[in-house]
Amino acid sequence: MNSNIPVIVEQKIVETLEKNYMPYAMSVIISRAIPEIDGFKPSHRKLLYTMYKMGLLTGNRTKSANVVGQTMKLNPHGDMAIYETLVRLTRGNNALLHPFVDSKGNFGKQYSRDMRFAAPRYTEVKLDKFCEEIFRDIDKNSVDFVDNYDGTMKEPTLLPTTFPNILVNANQGIAVGMASNICSFNLQEVCEATARYIEDETVDIVQYLKAPDFSNGGQLIYNEKEIREIYETGRGSFKLRAKYRYDKENSCIEIYEIPYTTTAEAIIDATVDLVKSGKIKEIVDVRDETDLNGLKITLDIRKSADPEALMNKLFKLTPLQDSFSCNFNILINGKPRVMGVKEIMGEWTLFRIGCIKRQLQFDINKKSEKLHLLLGLSKILLDIDKAVKIIRDTEQDIDVIPNLMEGFGIDQAQAEFIAEIKLRNLNKEYVLNRVAEVETLKQEIADLKATHSDEGKIKQIIIKQLQEVAKKFGQPRRTEIINEEQIEEITHEHLIEDYNLRLILTEQNYLKKVPLTSLRTNPEQKLKDDDRIIQEIDTHNKADLLLFSDKQTVYKLKIYELADAKASSLGDYLPNILELEPDEKIIHLVATDDYSGWLIFAFENGKVAKVELKSYATKTNRKKLANAYSDLSRPVRMLHITADLELVAISSIDKVLIFDTANINPKTTRTTQGVQVMKGKKGSYLREIKLLEEVAFQDLDYYRTKNIPAVGCYLREEDQIQKQAALLLDLEEPPQDLS
């Protein structure tokens, strides 16, 4: 049999996962990536405890390399992994609201992707004074200690922080199948909110813990619903944005605080890409001017640019505005739990109560031991000479303790204590002074036991410590809170360039959007041979456009959706853009910003309708509205007016009537028939409607009427001459319908 043939052994996938993968996954979750109730991951805790044991809480700074080397006794990882952990905890890196490590040298910056920290042999560190609060009473058995990885040292499983550090400093971790992302809060606010919670668990936390606070500063866009959701569930997100100032003299914008979730380089790269792609034309130059004074990104802008509008664009298109996604996943007794802020405070309070109880028990034990020894000492007070005689008469050293125990009726510990007293102290005064401490010790032990058994008193101790921490180390908020109502919502429309333009509609359904700057250089419009212009309107790129067809339909477009055209082009063919019916034509355009004013519809039957333009506004982005106007008679003319004016009605038999639109009541119903303005005579019909400035009648009052409907007056002979002249002019230049 060939021994080189591989042997295939079948394995059940579930068993393999349980045996090989699950231990790894659990190790990452429990021992690496997820923080615990003291606010630290194991790597942080091991590093800080090492520095504490090195005497760096009160001593001078030492080289970072020294700290890294010592930490390896507790943390079985490479030196660079440990040093990177140290870097984030330093004051120089600016990642934490309250750094744990006082540093000297270059530790990079949290807000910079490319600013690298110096090697550990160059930098120096010590524990910040703030660390007094995370190590307080750690030597009084306030937390459990376990063996390190090789069993040569002991290390704490948690640190007895006197405040909810888990909420004060930002923490992020990615485990296997789960992650944690905890934002930081202001220390004063956390201490105040926790104290109020301990006093009353039903308290409204939002009143005291206003919102997250970050070392980078910036602005937090406050939405109470979002914040409450985060506080209650431990999940949710909120928006952060940069702070900037405008230097009008130098025409530049200086960005000096950015969101915690991004870097200066990411912002600069995104801005440069926008400028190169032509999406933003107001920026001339982008510079990173970060120095020893702190972060500064400078944008040189054109003098004509609106800095506020420009920043709104950048907030939308770059990481200058970013979201922080919260996931308050914390290890509680070795099990990961996603908790709201109150629940975290509750768990921390239980943890802290346990720490204080253990510390009190430690003090009780120490004082009880001392009391026990002093009680033994008091027994020799009656006969010091007897004690001296017992020791002097004892032949062997090993018999001193048993003889003292027998002579005075004391135990071994008391006998050891008496035997160790120096010869010079075997006087009545010394013994009396020591024995006098007995009553004091008894009272102290009683008080400690009373506190130990009364959770209310322990909570008062916690509250007092919280107040002391807030007073000693509290700082004003760095991240400014701005209400969502103060922020202009940045939509796609804000990013559209606005400029003046002219829309040109032709008889054969072509529409041209020509920027006015282009018209100055080439005013001559190109049309098809058998085509003519039926309407021209001047508007701007961000206006809404209504296109009325001869099928009583109105189509709606944003003008910026149309491509710019040159005078030398034919423009857009509307049947393709609007999907018109085969025989449908667009006969009128209306451009508007706010749908103010009225539409005047004049029909062949002599009726005129006055419809409010807002009747065509819709809450949704509907592109097509049927029943745009009445279909009972053919429309002669449509006009968009914003104020009442006089119009000239001319019938098929040259009857003329000048009337005021104020006499026509406006309607909101789009299909209204309107009111009778011109009465028909001998089968006549309304032929045309003109503006006053489009006619040159010698006596306008002759044709005016105060009341409608009216028949009108025949066109005078002298006005007939004017009419003929106008017709000759029409042959040279097609008429333009003004709106």
Q: 393: which residues sit within 8 A by CB, 6+ positions away?
A: none
The token pair at 439 is: 């009553």
Alpha helices in 381-476 (DSSP H): 384-393, 400-408, 412-419, 428-435, 437-452, 455-473
Give buried/exposed letters for 483-512 (b at 16+ CB in 10 A, else e): eeeebeebeeeeeeeeeebbbbbbbbbbbb
Q: Which of 603, 612, 606 is nearest to 630 (CA)?
A: 603
d(CA 205, CA 195): 11
Question: In the sheet where 655-660 sits, what is the strand order?
Answer: 686-691, 646-651, 655-660, 713-714
The token pair at 670 is: 């789009």
Strands 655-660 vs 646-651: parallel, antiparallel or unpaired: antiparallel
The token pair at 369 is: 């031991």
Q: 705: which residues sit within 8 A by CB, 6+ positions away?
A: 657, 658, 659, 712
d(CA 505, CA 589): 8
- Terminal Cα-to-Cα distance of the chain (whole angstroms): 98
d(CA 678, CA 658): 10
Percentages helix, strand, coil for the chain, rounded to the nearest 5? 40, 25, 40
The token pair at 493 is: 């429309």
Contact 220, 230 (CB under 8 A): no
CB atoms within 10 A of CB 393: 9
| Phi then psi dihedrals of residue 485, to 5 deg | -65, -25
CB atoms within 10 A of CB 108: 20
d(CA 94, CA 111): 8
CB atoms within 10 A of CB 1: 3
Please calculate the CA angle 679-726-716 and round it to the nearest 5 degrees.
50
Q: 3: which residues sit within 8 A by CB, 6+ positions away?
A: none
d(CA 660, CA 650): 14
Q: Which amino acid is at 136?
A: R
- Active-site residue, from 21, 122, 499, 702: 122
CB atoms within 10 A of CB 683: 7
| Residue 122 among the catalytic residues | yes
Residue 353: C-alpha distances to residues 131, 455, 512 (Å) = 20, 8, 77
- Under DSSP, the state recorded for 710 is B
Contact 484, 208 (CB under 8 A): no
d(CA 555, CA 625): 6
| Phi then psi dihedrals of residue 650, to 5 deg | -125, 130
Assign 3-class secondary structure to 109-151. Answer: CCCCCCCCCCCCCCCEEEECHHHHHHHCCHHHCCCCEEECCCC
Task: Give kind and range of the element (H or E) at residue 666.
Answer: none
Tell me which residues are annotated as active site. Answer: 122
